Structure 1
Amino acid sequence: MSAGQIAALIAAGAFVLLVLLLAIPLVKLGRTLDEATIAIRKAHENADPLLTGANDTITHVNTQLERVDGITANAQAVSGNVSALSSVFTATLGSPLVKTAAFSYGVSRAIRARRKAKTGAEGKHSRLRGRNGTS
């Protein structure tokens, strides 16, 4: 064997060793891709029931929202009726009640002022008597 043949054998051996060393990561990468493919397949299979459940949930929520819309419309109608009723009450009874309350307040103030003036006048005379020393 000549030196060139020996060099060729060494180069061929090194090339085989290089191929073997590169084959190990490629095999591991192939296994990883297989596992990823299996995981994606399982996720795809499990997605259909999830989407069906989500559609059912959304349908149920829409039904409940329609009911809430009806309740809201009824509450709005009731508040409008209460507002109209309070306006009618204010127009028919509110003004006379306010006038009656104002009149009774004025009368009570006048009576208190008169009593105060009466007791104030008597109080002045009694104080004057006490200062002069005469009873």
Structure 2
Amino acid sequence: MADGPLLRALFRAHLWASARLMPALVGKRDFEAVLKWAPLTSSTPYRGLPSAYIVASVNRAVRHPWLMRDRRCLREGLLAHRFLRLAGFDPDLRFGVDPQSLHAPRLSAHCWVCLEGRPVVSDSLPGMVEIYRHHAEPGKARAA
């Protein structure tokens, strides 16, 4: 289906529902279960939508978080990765940690999405060390 009003309306409805359901479905699940929200292969029902449109729509959908407030980058990253993939793009979801937080009561972690090697949703924060890259490479993800 070519980019048009119907495709954009379907995309916006799917994104809206996914953004609202994600906090309940991701909850306090382990990392492997969370990554199921960022499939490495998928159909491409939104092929034809520009990546900039998808990223802007995701940013709008998560603008006022009332759930997952402390994990905003995760929510934004999972949604962006998922919908870019559904549009036929090949994004990678990157995860990093602040080494200074390794001995703190709470680990400081961050995620961001890159497309063709460039950050499109968030970016690595100063001091963060990339520890994992979720990316389709002959059917599997790879560690950084």
Q: Same fold (TM over 0.5)?
A: no
- More helix, by proportion: 1
TM-score (norm 1): 0.17
Name the structure, 1 or 2, with higher relative contact order (CA <8 Å, separation 6+). 2
- More strand, by proportion: 2
